[in-house]
């Protein structure tokens, strides 16, 4: 394995997969690791970390389930210490906006002595097409406690473009980049854009938080995920993250992708096709 190898934690995830394919296209050797790979990497098992890190010079880190959970800062600190001991020089950490837990984890990286970048992203548009909201979109009704909250959803392709620039351009190191889409949108506005792109109506139904959490539990979602969504919908949509930020332009010199473009591109992949559900 070349000493130039870039480590990607979460190579099958929403952003890691995109970072991996871009680096591959650029001729860069990568090592993607998660619980399902060989070697394996598990944030909850430090014994798996040394083999994953060894021989790599830079890393793109996605934490699971979310960088805001209390144990994340501890894991990031330990990961950085281990990385430094093995010769890894530079870590690009994916983070969120306005989350106390995530900012503690970011600080652990900045304090580590490694070269660093923090990518603070708004909610991903791909949550609608590659994550827990996908099935609801296909069924035509997204039930959320979101109300009139607005969020400038970011396209994961933009996140990957920025992450790759940070990994490959030394002049961008030791800075944080706050990435959002170009316009704050309500969830209802997102459903309109997605309806236009898929050609069938998808509506937003607002429910009280207690009803939402009860439904998630009925669906058998793990309690940790239920708690995480409760925090996200109570804290992050209180207006603190409603503003847009210029990180995509600052890193890439171009504007962030509009949600309508994301929706058209996602629809073209067939991910929202209703036949997918009927076959399942």
Ligand X SMILES: NC(=O)c1ccc[n+]([C@@H]2O[C@H](COP(=O)([O-])OP(=O)(O)OC[C@H]3O[C@@H](n4cnc5c(N)ncnc54)[C@H](OP(=O)(O)O)[C@@H]3O)[C@@H](O)[C@H]2O)c1
Residues that bind ligand X (CB under 6 A): 10, 12-16, 34-36, 41-44, 62-64, 66-67, 94, 96, 121, 123-124, 127
Is 67:17 a contact under the CB 8 Å cutoff?
no
Q: Which is nearer to ligand X, 70 or 170 (CB)?
A: 70
Is 151:123 a contact under the CB 8 Å cutoff?
yes
Q: Which is nearer to ligand X, 42 or 157 (CB)?
A: 42
CB of 157 to ligand X, least distance (A): 12
End-to-end Cα distance, the chain = 40
Determine the residue with CB nearest ligand X: 13
CB of 151 to ligand X, least distance (A): 9
As beta bridge partners, residue 94 has 119
CB of 154 to ligand X, least distance (A): 8
What are the Cα distances from residue 18, in Å, to 25, 123, 204?
11, 16, 29
**Look-up of token digits 């070349």:** 2
CB of 24 to ligand X, least distance (A): 17
d(CA 42, CA 49): 7
CB of 84 to ligand X, least distance (A): 20
Q: Which is nearer to ligand X, 124 or 259 (CB)?
A: 124
**Maximum distance among all Cα pairs of the chain, rounded to whole angstroms:** 54
């Amino acid at each position: 394995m070349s000493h130039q190898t870039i480590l990607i934690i979460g190579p099958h995830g929403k952003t890691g997969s995109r970072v991996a394919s871009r680096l591959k296209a650029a001729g860069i050797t990568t090592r993607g690791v998660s619980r399902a790979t060989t070697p394996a990497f598990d944030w909850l098992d430090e014994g798996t970390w040394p083999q994953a890190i060894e021989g790599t010079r830079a890393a793109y880190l996605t934490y699971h389930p979310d960088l805001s959970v209390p144990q994340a800062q501890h894991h990031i600190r330990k990961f950085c210490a281990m990385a430094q001991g093995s010769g890894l020089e530079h870590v690009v950490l994916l983070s969120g906006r306005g989350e106390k837990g995530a900012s503690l984890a970011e600080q652990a990286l900045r304090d580590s002595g490694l070269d660093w970048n923090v990518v603070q992203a708004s909610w991903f548009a791909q949550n609608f097409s590659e994550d827990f909201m996908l099935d609801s979109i296909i069924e035509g009704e997204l039930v959320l406690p979101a109300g009139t909250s607005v969020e400038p959803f970011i396209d994961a392709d933009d996140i990957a473009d920025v992450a790759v620039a940070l990994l490959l351009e030394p002049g961008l190191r030791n800075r944080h980049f706050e990435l959002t889409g170009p316009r704050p949108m309500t969830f209802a506005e997102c459903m309109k854009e997605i309806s236009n792109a898929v050609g069938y109506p998808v509506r937003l139904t607002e429910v009280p938080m207690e009803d939402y959490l009860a439904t998630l539990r009925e669906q058998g979602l793990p309690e940790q995920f239920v708690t995480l969504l409760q925090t996200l919908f109570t804290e992050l949509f209180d207006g603190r993250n409603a503003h847009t930020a210029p990180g995509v332009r600052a890193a890439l010199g171009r504007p962030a992708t509009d949600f309508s473009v994301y929706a058209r591109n996602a629809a073209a992949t067939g991910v929202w096709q209703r036949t997918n559900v009927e076959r399942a």
